[in-house]
Amino acid sequence: MPKDKSSAPVPLNLYPPGLDLSGYIIIWPDGSLDEWSKEFAEKYAAAQREGMDDPQTENGGGGSSADSGF
């Protein structure tokens, strides 16, 4: 979801890999939030390459699968 809340949140996997999401807030299935940054993008890409669902967020959130939706 954009930081300015100009549009509704959508699942992260709808965005193509490598898309610059600077200025976006990531909402994890457990409700925790992370701001997209270069470091976070690298961590997320590495987790995807390793077959993990999502990287662990800095505030202890994260998730397994997006089966539960929003």
- How far, in Å, CA of 43 to CA of 36, rounded? 11
Report how far Cα 24 is from the mean position of its chain's Cα atoms. 9
The confidence score (pLDDT) of residue 16 equals 85
Ranges of each domain in the chain? 1-58
The tens place of each residue's pLDDT in the chain, 70 residues long, gives 888 888 888 888 888 877 888 888 888 878 888 888 888 888 878 877 887 555 555 555 555 555 555 5
- The structure's pTM equals 0.52
